[in-house]
Amino acid sequence: MAFHFPSSGDQKLIQIVDAALADTGRRSKGGLVCRKGCTPCCIGVFAINQLDAARLRRGLAELAKRDAGRAVAVQQRAREAVARLSRDFPGDPATGLLGKTKEELRRFEDFANEEPCPALDLDEGTCDLYDSRPMTCRTFGPPVRAEGGLGVCELCYQGFSEHEIAACEMVPDPEDLESRLLKKVERDTGLRGDTIIAYPLAA
């Protein structure tokens, strides 16, 4: 099936999110300590949507043109991760789609929390697909509002009061462009539901 990735729309989304992060960084006055080589957020699986998955596949294809060896290494790490994780996968281990039942959601909370991201170069402490990383990666660190309130990386904003942290809140996608792009990707690919990073990179 031919699939045209929404490049211009996704690029706009990335620009919006990156601008929001830069603004938060300016307001954070040193509290946002994310830097090259800081990789705790790269350990442990998390859900990504089909737009993230499509962006990762595109990024891997682009990496293969620039550095075939590095792309092969990423794909090999992804395949090894899928092999390790598929037995206890809380969903469909063949497609990589996460389950939605209460039991599957409960199992996912404790699933593969020590698993390194296959895009992570453990020797360098860097992401081989940094420009194509999921939205969760782009918004992890600064204060971002979720169902439970403001979430923030435990390594950031040390010594900041709750009020000071709230003043640094990042609003990544105020017009919810991501949802519109996601609907297009799901419609065009026929793939619906969340997965984890290893699956789109292992295919």
pLDDT in tens, 18-32: 999 999 999 999 999
Q: What is the mean pLDDT of the chain?
A: 95
The structure's pTM equals: 0.94
User: What phi-psi label fits residue 131: left (phi over 0), alpha (psi between -120 and 50 degrees) or beta?
Assistant: alpha
Summarize pLDDT for 59-80 with one digit per residue, the tens: 999 999 999 999 999 999 999 9
Give bridge partners of residue 151 from the DSSP assignment: 144
pLDDT computed for residue 147 by the predictor: 82
Q: How far apart are CA 174 and CA 154, in angstroms?
A: 25
* pLDDT > 90 fraction of the chain, expressed in percent and rounded: 92
Query: What is the total residue count of the chain?
Result: 203
Structure tokens at 25: 């960084």
Residue type, 172: P
pLDDT computed for residue 1 by the predictor: 44
User: What mean pLDDT is predicted for residues 165-185?
Assistant: 97
User: What phi-psi label fits residue 44: left (phi over 0), alpha (psi between -120 and 50 degrees) or beta?
Assistant: left
Summarize pLDDT for 74-120 with one digit per residue, the tens: 999 999 999 999 999 999 999 999 999 999 999 999 999 999 999 99
pLDDT computed for residue 3 by the predictor: 67
* pLDDT > 70 fraction of the chain, expressed in percent and rounded: 99
Summarize pLDDT for 132-143 with one digit per residue, the tens: 999 999 999 999
Instruction: Give residue limits of the domains in the chain.
Output: 7-202
Task: With CA atoms as reference, report the closest residue to 46 among 124, 155, 139, 137.
Answer: 137
Residue 92: strand, helix, or coil: coil
Q: How far apart are CA 162 and CA 168, in angstroms?
A: 10
Q: Which residue has the tokens 């439970």?
A: 148
- Whether residue 2 is predicted with pLDDT greater than 60 in this model: the reply is no
E runs forming strands in the chain: 120-121, 126-127, 144-146, 149-151
pLDDT computed for residue 148 by the predictor: 79
pLDDT computed for residue 138 by the predictor: 96
- Whether residue 180 is predicted with pLDDT greater than 50 in this model: the reply is yes
